[in-house]
Structure 1
């Protein structure tokens, strides 16, 4: 039985490294440079999982052996059984995260492959709001805020890819000591309008977790 150990963002990172090897094979003529690219990809992937020393390490290390597009596909398919799913969550649980939104529109969870999810995010155009659900230490947290479509592409602060963006602004729950009753602070940043694409692109969750922490307190 395969024990899952690869999170979605790590899988995306590995995929990017594998693509760099394939690209080098197509464009690089110098064997030394190609070997350097192979070694770099293998090293970066190994650094994601320093505690893995069994046959899973052999599987990951085989990234340096890729030679063809078929090899690339076979390599990624071999990783799929080891993907950690985003924790199972129900519509009822999501609604509890946003108790003030009585008419909250929840995405169709049955249509989402949780293996390829780092966070759930969606927009409600009727209320002009965006919602994010993330798992922190085994607990779900929900962040909601206003979004403004930019109608242009730029770099998402979460996945760092060039995509169609929205300016997302949420009210922070953090309050300084002796703050006045009417104190509030808005936290905003640009992120992908399309949560599915963001999950496909994400290779690091650090920025996302910092943002959620700045809102949640």
Structure 2
């Protein structure tokens, strides 16, 4: 029985390493260099799963057999049954996360493939707001921020890829002990315009979790 253990960002990391190896196999003539890339890819993948069982390690280590495009497709397909879905969220849960937002615009939850989701994100263009929902330490949390498209490409702070970005700024909920009623602190970062693109790129959740923790205080 295949027990799902690969989260979306980990799957993206595996795919990135597999593509790097495939590129080396196709373009590098020195076998030693190719084998070095192969070893590096295996190491990066194994390190991402310190709690993997022997069976899970065996599935991951099949990357060492990758030599061509057919091997790449076969390897990635073999991992699909091991993908752990982002636990589906309901409209009721989303409304509970953002109780102060009147007329909350919700995403089309039925259209989301939860295997390829690290976080649920959507925008409300009418109010220039971005909403992010994530499971932090097993608890469903939500944050919202101002969303300003820049109509240019930049590096997304979440996925670290060069994509079309927007400036996202969110007010922190943490307040100093003697802060005035008007006190607020905002955290801003460049982020992919579309969460679908970001979810397909992200290979590490450290920046996402740091951002959410900073906003939640």
TM-score range, shorter chain: over 0.9
Map 1:48-197 onto structure 2 (within 5 A): 48-197=48-197
> Partners of 1:132 and 1:55 in 2: how far apart?
34
Summarize deviations over 1:169-211 as a string: whole Å, max 9, x none: 1110011222122211011111001100000000001001111
Summarize deviations over 1:147-184 as a string: whole Å, max 9, x none: 11100011100001111100001110011222122211
| 1:115 Cα deviation after fit | 0.6
Contact 1:5–1:84 (CA<8 Å) still a contact in 2? yes
Summarize deviations over 1:90-134 as a string: whole Å, max 9, x none: 011001111111211111111100010000111111111111001
| 1:55 Cα deviation after fit | 2.2
Consecutive unaligned residues of structure 1, counting only runs of 5 or more, are none
**CA shift in 2, pair 1:204/1:123, >3 Å:** same
Where does residue 35 of structure 2 map in the other structure?
35
Following TM superposition, the consecutive aligned residue runs of length 4 or more in structure 1 with deviations greater than 6 angstroms are none
> Partners of 1:47 and 1:37 in 2: how far apart?
15
Q: Aligned to 2:56, what secondary structure does the other structure show?
A: helix
- TM score, norm. by length of structure 1: 0.97
- TM score, norm. by length of structure 2: 0.97
Contact 1:120–1:132 (CA<8 Å) still a contact in 2? yes
Structure 2 residue 18 is the aligned partner of structure 1 residue 18: yes
Summarize deviations over 1:4-34 as a string: whole Å, max 9, x none: 1111000000000000110001111111111
Q: Aligned to 1:79, what secondary structure does the other structure show?
A: helix
Summarize deviations over 1:48-74 as a string: whole Å, max 9, x none: 112324222112111121011111111
Consecutive unaligned residues of structure 2, counting only runs of 5 or more, are none
